[in-house]
Amino acid sequence: MPQMSEAQQAAFNGANGESGATFTDLHEFVVGTLLVLMLVWLVWVSLSAYQSLRVPGTHVPDAGAKVVRALFIAIFIMAVANLEWS
């Protein structure tokens, strides 16, 4: 999470009023939402790969490769979202 200067902190607190929200709360919300969206996308890819096995000519390694590729993309995006920006 990036460090904010005193002026940025004051502007953030002024914009939020008396809500009590902090930058850390916002960061956790964004990362949590991204995590949920990535997991839903991963389930969607897995189900479509499984359903594609009904098509003649599609093999299990092809469907498995789609799922593994999606898993690596999801892990990479979630790792980038959790980096500490200093």
Domain that holds residue 58: 6-81
Band (65; pLDDT cuts 50, 70, 90): very high
In a domain, 17, yes or no: yes
**Interval 13-63: pLDDT, tens:** 777 766 666 777 777 888 889 889 999 999 999 999 999 999 898 899 999
DSSP structural state of residue 2: P
- pLDDT band, residue 2 (cuts 50/70/90): low
> Does 36 fall in a domain?
yes
| Domain count for the chain | 1
**pTM listed for this prediction:** 0.68
86 is a domain residue: no
- Confirm whether 72 is domain-assigned: yes
The answer to whether position 51 is within a domain reads yes
Among the listed residues 54, 52, 79, the one whose alpha carbon sits nearest the alpha carbon of residue 63: 52
